[in-house]
Amino acid sequence: MTSRTWLVTGANSGFGRHLSEQLLSRGDRVVGTFRAAGSVENLSARWPDAFRAAHLDVTDPAEITAVVDDAWAALRRIDVVVSNAGYGLMGAAEELSDEQVAHQIATNLTGSIRLIRAALPHLRRQGGGRILQLSSVGGQVAWPGGSLYHATKWGVEGFADALAGEIAPFGIGVTIVEPGGARTNFRYGGSVLADRIGAYDGTPAAGIRRILTERTTEGIGDAALMAAAMIASVDRDPAPRRLVLGSDAYGAIEGALAARLADVRGQRESAEATDAPLEGAITGGPADLNA
């Protein structure tokens, strides 16, 4: 087992906490970021030489740059960057405030992009590394009541998918992690519920409100086992593009992909009917940027 150095955002709870504890227990070094004061003190006390704590609000671009640059300056090499910080904003799209929408995007999408962009020059200079981008089953499947959360996860998956091709020549791998429901504090501690609009009572969008207010459901996934699978994925070469965790995630993603593929396949003739005459032109590929 190779000893590595990791940068893990959101190390104080959920997957970030499980990852940090498992990595430190096996002898790796971790730079773990947190927002709440005192939330990682026990990690610092237990592993004073291996754990480096750093305050980070991923909505603050200057703080992202400072934390990433300081981590590399102090440790000289970081092998794996885990972009994990995020939360769920739930409610029908109309129920969300502009401020809630902006903060969800700034945290889950823009924050992840900025973190990775800040790390890329360091990863290139050191000759490679690995990026784990935490997404969700909600990055492949969309349910009523989670429109903005899904928007951020689908967005970050598109970013990471394209990024993987850009940085592969530098020896940097990218894995998008897609866990299903897990027994962490995400569902009832890390989710924000928009103010209710009565017109949506009894509609599909109200289902998530009922779940979050009644607190009667629990994720099927074992968070510790999921974290262990994320760690194990780093030893795979080439990097797995997507890592699906949980039988619920597998079933939902497989069903959604099958439905989308069936919808697309039913439109082959109508799609081809909109092509312009070739007349000797070379078409197709990334040069066609009008889409």
Whole-angstrom Cα distance, residue 256 to residue 262? 10
> Do 108 and 190 form a contact (C-beta atoms < 8 A)?
no
Closest CA to 191 of 156, 244, 142, 148: 148
Alpha helices (H) along the chain: 14-25, 41-46, 61-75, 98-104, 111-126, 147-167, 186-189, 206-214, 223-233, 247-265, 268-272
Measuring CA to CA, which residue among 11, 81, 16 is closest to residue 39? 11
Instruction: Sheet with 242-245: list strands edge to edge.
Output: 51-55, 29-34, 5-8, 80-83, 129-134, 172-179, 242-245
Tell me which of 13, 112, 135, 136 is the catalytic residue: 135
Catalytic residue among 112, 136, 153, 200: 153
Residue 6 near residue 23 (C-beta atoms within 8 A): yes
Name the percent of the chain in helix, strand, coil, to the closest 5: 50, 15, 35
Check if 97 is active-site.
no
Contact 134, 107 (CB under 8 A): no
Pick the catalytic residue from 87, 136, 149, 200. Answer: 149
Q: Residue 44 catalytic?
A: no
139 near 252, Cβ under 8 Å?
no
Query: Using CB atoms within 10 A of its CB, is residue 285 exposed (0-12), middle (13-18) or buried (19+)?
Result: exposed
| Distance in angstroms (rounded) separating the CA atoms of residues 11 and 255 | 32
Known catalytic residues? 135, 149, 153
